[in-house]
């Protein structure tokens, strides 16, 4: 009886260990998670999260079964030896997985890792959109023509089945123009798209067939929505600049991420041939992409000279990346950021240095290295 009580006590201890191993990291993860931390792209989430728990639960079940078999004399000497070998293998597996899991917990919620994952997901989304600017369709004419159809639910447009829409358009001999792209806000009162028949004898079309090709959800996704990554990076940077955290270094690092993303977007890339000739989409607006990030950083970082200087530098470099449209948009944002900083009662020499940074990019491009800055200004 006493030995059975000892076995039960050991089993209870193992269950407590399994439960604590799975639950204790959760408060740390929630406390360290940045804005939108739960919305990391699926392909970039940690794959180790479910494997350790399955190993611990499996070890717990094996321990209960082994204790029950040995306590009730259900196995002989050969069976006991087999259980002993299996127990050793289980212990080795549990210890190995636990050590690896401790390392992953140490990196859980680390801000630098989250920023890197969001940047990588945004870069892939931008690359896909650069290769297929209209998701394989054609550029939409403005304003769109035809009969409108609406969504029955509110949310964000997460995904569009272009192949299904092309099949419907081919079958009913019509052209389909989408009112938005993945990431756009969808409401029942706003048109989801427009249909324009080739002739009057195209036949009736059930709007439900069109709605099935659209996935609408409560949150945005990274895969087909490059602007969402910019919004998430802006939220992380703004939180770092809040008075309660006061971490300008994180905001400066994110500005570097934005420079890499937009610099890659400014380079001419190879575009794939359109696959869906009956589907039209609006283009991705560069002005909107800049507005997703830079105004918020200019507002929250206006009082920090190191952030304001880096913002002017990033916008200046993007303005001289070779893309005429990006140069115009970057110049507008740089001027607005300078005005924001100038309206604050800041240190006069800092404001003078900031104005010099701006002038060297936008007013003295011919006198310097094509829009660069002298060494005395380019330290930030």
What is the reported pLDDT for 376?
A: 39
Res 189: pLDDT: 92
The pLDDT assigned to 38 comes to 44
Per the omega criterion (within 30 degrees of 0), is the bond before 143 cis?
A: yes
Containing 345, the helix (H) or strand (E) segment is none
Residues 25, 79, single domain; the answer is: yes
Q: Are residues 90 and 178 in the same domain?
A: no
Give the domain-ending residue among 109, 141, 176: 109
For residue 120, the model assigns a pLDDT of 94
Q: Where does a domain end: 189, 217, 245? A: 217
Within a domain: residue 261? Answer: no
Q: Based on the number of CB atoms within 10 Å of its own CB, is 13 exposed (0-12), middle (13-18) or buried (19 or more)?
A: exposed
pLDDT at 28: 46
Do 61 and 11 belong to one domain?
Answer: yes
Claim to verify: residue 13 and residue 93 sit in the same structural domain: yes
Same domain, yes or no: 138 and 204: yes
Q: What pLDDT is attached to residue 377?
A: 44
What CA–CA distance (Å, rounded) separates 22 from 259? 39
For the record, the structure tokens of 277 come out as: 């000739």
**Which helix (H) or strand (E) is 294 found in, with range?**
helix 294-300
At residue 203, the pLDDT reads: 66
The answer to whether residues 136 and 105 belong to one domain is: no
Residue 100 lies in a domain: yes
Whole-prediction pTM: 0.75
Same domain membership, residue 159 and residue 102: no
Asked if residue 183 is part of any domain, the answer here is yes
148 and 91 part of one domain: no
Q: Is residue 149 part of a domain?
A: yes
Domain that holds residue 157: 132-217
Structure token pair of residue 67: 């204790």
Q: In total, how many domains does the chain have?
A: 2
Structure tokens at 282: 């609006």
In a domain, 279, yes or no: no
For the chain, which ranges sit under pLDDT 70?
1-50, 106-109, 200-203, 364-380
- Tokens 């999260």 sit on residue: 49
Residue 199 maps to a domain: yes
142 and 56, same structural domain?
Answer: no
Hey, is 112 helix, strand or coil?
A: helix
On whether both 60 and 158 belong to a single domain, the answer is no
Q: What CATH number has the domain bearing residue 165?
A: 3.90.1170.30
Of 217, 243, 270, which residue constitutes the final position of a domain?
Answer: 217
Helix (H, G, I), strand (E, B) or coil at 138: strand
């Amino acid at each position: 009886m006493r030995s059975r009580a000892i076995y039960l006590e050991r089993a209870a201890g193992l269950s407590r260990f399994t439960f604590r191993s799975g639950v204790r990291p959760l408060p740390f993860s929630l406390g360290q998670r940045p804005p939108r931390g739960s919305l990391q792209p699926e392909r970039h989430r940690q794959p180790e999260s479910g494997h350790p728990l399955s190993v611990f639960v499996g070890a717990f079940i094996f321990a209960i079964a082994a204790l029950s078999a040995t306590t009730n004399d259900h196995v002989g000497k050969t069976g006991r030896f087999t259980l002993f070998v299996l127990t050793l293998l289980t212990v080795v597996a549990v210890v190995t997985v636990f050590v690896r899991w401790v390392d992953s917990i140490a990196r859980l919620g680390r801000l630098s890792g989250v920023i890197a994952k969001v940047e990588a997901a945004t870069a892939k989304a931008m690359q896909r959109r650069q290769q297929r600017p209209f998701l394989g369709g054609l550029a939409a004419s403005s304003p769109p023509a035809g009969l409108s159809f609406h969504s029955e639910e509110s949310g964000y447009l997460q995904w569009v089945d272009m192949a299904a829409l092309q099949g419907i358009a081919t079958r009913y001999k019509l052209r389909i123009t989408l009112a938005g792209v993945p990431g756009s806000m969808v409401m029942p009162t706003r048109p989801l798209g427009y249909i324009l028949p080739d002739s009057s004898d195209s036949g009736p079309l059930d709007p439900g067939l069109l709605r099935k090709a659209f996935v609408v959800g409560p949150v945005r996704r990274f895969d087909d929505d490059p602007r969402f990554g910019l919004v998430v990076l802006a939220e992380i940077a703004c939180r770092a600049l809040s008075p309660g955290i006061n971490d300008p270094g994180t905001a400066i690092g994110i500005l570097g991420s934005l420079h890499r993303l937009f610099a890659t977007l400014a380079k001419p890339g190879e575009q794939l041939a359109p696959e869906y000739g009956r589907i039209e989409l609006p283009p991705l607006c560069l002005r909107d992409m800049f507005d997703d990030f830079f105004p918020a950083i200019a507002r929250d970082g206006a009082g920090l000279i190191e952030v304001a200087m880096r913002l002017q530098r990033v916008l200046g470099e993007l303005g001289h990346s070779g893309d005429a449209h990006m140069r115009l948009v970057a110049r507008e944002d740089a001027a607005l950021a300078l005005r924001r900083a100038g309206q604050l009662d800041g240190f006069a020499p800092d404001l003078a240095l900031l104005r010099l940074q701006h002038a060297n990019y936008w007013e003295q491009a011919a006198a310097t290295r094509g829009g660069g800055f002298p060494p005395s200004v380019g330290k930030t």
